[in-house]
Chain A
Amino acid sequence: MMGNQNHKRHLLLRMQNITKRFPGVLALSGVYFDLYPGEVHLLIGENGAGKSTLIKILSGVYRPDEGDIFVEGKRVNIQKPHQAKELGISTIYQEFALIPHLTVAQNIFLGREISANGIPFLIDNSSIDDSCQILMERLKLPLRPREYVRNLNTAEKQLVEIARALSTKSKILIMDEPTSTLTSREIDRLFDMVIQLKEQGVGIINISHRLEEAKRIGDRVTVLRDGKHIDTLAVKKTGIDHLISLMVGEEISDRFPKEKTEEGPEVLKVRNLTKHPFFQDITFSLHQGEIVGLAGLLGSGKEKILRAICGIERFSTGSITVGGEPAKISSCQDAINCGISYLPSDRKEEGIILRMTVRQNVTLSSLKNHCRLGILRSKKETKVAHEFAERLQIRMPSIRTLVEYLSGGNQQKVIIARSLCCRSRIFFFDEPTQGIDVGAKVEIYHLLNELVRQGAAVLLASSELPELMGMCDRIFAMYHGEIIGEYNAQEVSQEELLRAIFGKEKHSRDEMPVHMHH
């Protein structure tokens, strides 16, 4: 705030009327965003609100469909990432783009090495080290240029990323969730640096899920929701609760066609499941006919739990009981034999086999039933595949179409059909509606309803809270690898849930029964 008083009249960055469409989705619609020199401008919003899209447009990863970008008053046309760099726009991503077997200095100067005596192709390592040392002193960073990146801890790697971003005289620095991997002391150090940068007149855009922390260094905050600019406020005058309510927006109606179902007996019981450092002491049960939600931020461990129970990854301690009997699950086959199916969030990477047909994908897990002595019975296989494709209303030219050519929603249905086909009774959905357009989402919700109506049990991990509140019976909130609360989906408010997954409302395990019996 102090730094930007003198610069107030000269905007460093103005993004105006930015619109971006993806197939089936309006990611950004007429968004306005600006930035002053020496300012930290927070950008917040729920998943899918359009934060990353906006940032990617600014850094040249995407091109906007409409809208103008002005840097220091001049209209610019950013087509490629390197053009953004030339304009002095640097981005620090959450995932590190560092090469572990090179030193700090070599990483920072990667791609623009200093030649020895002007001879091209010969690298002058010592002058790279010297330049790096000067940079470190300028930024007051405690890093040694000759240290190998593989020896650094997460926070130090983050600092190297920051140093790299700043080594090219940046005017605008974009930080995409910079604190999500850091400890509190490391965060302090990062914030010290941010303050230094502000003094040097650098404008900083900070995307963060951790509102509490971000408030410490932020000057202004812009809230996005559903691709629209909701409000821009001075941070000091705004309470976190108000920000959360702005992020959440209006109430949800029948986007979620939840049906009431009879709750049956317990089909799955998980006790004290632990895998350090990903999750600890996870205990919950799942009943026939219910949809249970798992809410949590990225890194809360919710998908790790799903994957551990389904035999994809291992867990260290704990027990799993299926239908009252102890289950030993050490591989995906074990899980499938227990009637548990995992439906991955990344359909293309983990779910379907793109270059196989619908029929082949649907019967993949249950091929044993369509075989005699290892020889396929094509007619039976085709019949079964037809049956399930029809039941799930998979839209396709033919059952022999390659799954590659189906839409996202229909691909998801193919995976569900596969699980149904091998007679699963327990379905673990990991972000089932990610990257699916609104119409197909509702279809997936209808499928969830049908699954539980027919006596299945569903565990639904999602980072979209409205989806969880709309479709689930109960919701578990996860924070830092622990279940910190259980809520009745009908009664809980979105703010309450948000608070829980941000770690603001911590329940001890003793308090939980209170919530359990509503």
Chain B
Amino acid sequence: MGKNTGKNSSGILLNLTKNLFTGMGFIPLLILLLVVITALNQKNFATFSNLQNISRQFSLLALIAVGQMFPILIAGLDLSQGGVMGAVSVLSTLAMLEYGVIPGCILGIFIGGMFGLVNGTLIALFNISPFVVTLGMMSFARGLALMITNGQSIYGLPDSFSYLGTEYIGPFPVPFIIASLIFFISYVILHRTRFGRYIYATGGNQTAARISGINVKLIKSCAYMYCGLLTGLASVVISSRVNSGQPNLGTGAPLEAIAAVVIGGVSLFGGEGKLRGVFLGVVVLSLISNSLNILNVNSYLQMMIMAMVIILAVIVDRFRYAKD
């Protein structure tokens, strides 16, 4: 008898936790809590310039998180984002010195896409673990960036390049405009195109998708390529902000991106998750990071806090999609 009641109460507890975290319910709450605490404690939180700051932070994370969402939707992931950002930063700025700003930017995005395509093709063709492939690619890309520059940053870029990262259109920072555009495009892709539908199908049940006549390998390659393109774009924007080519760009990128995606309710098992969730995930993470900054939390402690948030998000993911 005693055993039984114990089981019941733990069951109720489990259900409670489940309900608490299921759906989007807890994300807005978390945001509200953060904003209130920080605003109460620090006068310079609720200022216009800090808002622009947050929006810039938000935009850069948004680009890599939306990119990351695609591999995760097909039950994969892309750990190479950081290394690819380094390589893109170096290669695009070098090209810029030779051929001008716009060709350099375009080349950067293109190179990002190529890295993604190679990732995806290797994973799909040889049916190997995305974890290993993209981890390897991370190291390869970073190595490439460091080798080309010998570890040095690239300076002396045209002034016009800094427009992307530092200027405003109306009250909005340019990166924010870019991120909004990417959200729109990605929404259309995911919910209004065949490719998007096939991504959800492949992630939901790969075998069924294949039997339904979907070219699963192609879909996988394309998903990684899209992620690469957005990673490339993010790298170009950040390089513009620091107005230099940085081989060490984006070391924490994949982790933050995955965190935002998972907090946003995209399942690591694939096939499930919405873009608006990722949007909220990005908002939460950039707010957390901004608040911690303003509260003057030690930056190493910040790393630890972020890590805990990420692990918590994955645990929530387990609860949400646990199969009974």
Question: Which residues does A use to contact B, with CB under 8 Å?
Answer: 310, 312, 331-333, 335-337, 342, 344, 349-356, 360, 364-365, 367-368, 371, 374-376, 378, 418, 422
With A371-B194, A376-B194 in contact, do A418 and B212 touch (Cβ < 8 Å)? yes
The answer for the CA separation of A336 and B210 in the assembled complex, in Å, is: 11
With A355-B272, A364-B212 in contact, do A350 and B194 touch (Cβ < 8 Å)? no
CB within 8 A of B211: which of A332, A355, A356, A368? A332
The answer for the CA separation of A367 and B199 in the assembled complex, in Å, is: 13
List chain B residues, Cβ under 8 A from A350.
205, 207-208, 211
**B208 adjacent to A353 (CB under 8 Å):** yes
The number of chain B residues with a CB under 8 A from chain A is 22
List chain A residues, Cβ under 8 A from B211.
310, 312, 332, 342, 344, 350-351
Beta-carbon contacts under 8 Å, B163-214 to A:
188, 192-195, 197-198, 200-201, 204-205, 207-214
List chain B residues, Cβ under 8 A from A333.
213-215
Question: Which residues does B use to contact A, with CB under 8 Å?
Answer: 188, 192-195, 197-198, 200-201, 204-205, 207-215, 271-272
**A356 adjacent to B201 (CB under 8 Å):** yes
The answer for the CA separation of A350 and B205 in the assembled complex, in Å, is: 7
The answer for the CA separation of A312 and B212 in the assembled complex, in Å, is: 10
With A333-B215, A356-B201 in contact, do A374 and B210 touch (Cβ < 8 Å)? no
26 contacting pairs across A/B (C-beta < 8 A): A310-B211, A331-B215, A332-B212, A333-B215, A335-B213, A344-B208, A344-B211, A349-B205, A349-B207, A350-B208, A350-B211, A351-B208, A352-B208, A353-B200, A353-B201, A353-B204, A354-B204, A354-B205, A356-B201, A364-B214, A365-B213, A371-B193, A374-B193, A375-B192, A376-B194, A378-B192
CB within 8 A of A364: which of B188, B192, B201? B201
**A422 adjacent to B213 (CB under 8 Å):** yes
The answer for the CA separation of A264 and B188 in the assembled complex, in Å, is: 46
The answer for the CA separation of A374 and B58 in the assembled complex, in Å, is: 30
- When C-beta atoms are compared, the residue in chain A nearest to B214 turns out to be A364
A98: min CB distance to chain B, Å: 24
**B205 adjacent to A353 (CB under 8 Å):** yes
**B194 adjacent to A355 (CB under 8 Å):** no
**A355 adjacent to B210 (CB under 8 Å):** no
List chain A residues, Cβ under 8 A from B215.
331, 333
- Interface pairs A-B: 9 shortest CB-CB: A336-B213, A353-B204, A353-B205, A365-B212, A364-B212, A333-B213, A350-B207, A365-B213, A367-B194
List chain B residues, Cβ under 8 A from A375.
188, 192-194
**B271 adjacent to A332 (CB under 8 Å):** no
List chain B residues, Cβ under 8 A from A336.
212-213
- When C-beta atoms are compared, the residue in chain A nearest to B213 turns out to be A336
List chain A residues, Cβ under 8 A from B213.
332-333, 335-337, 365, 422
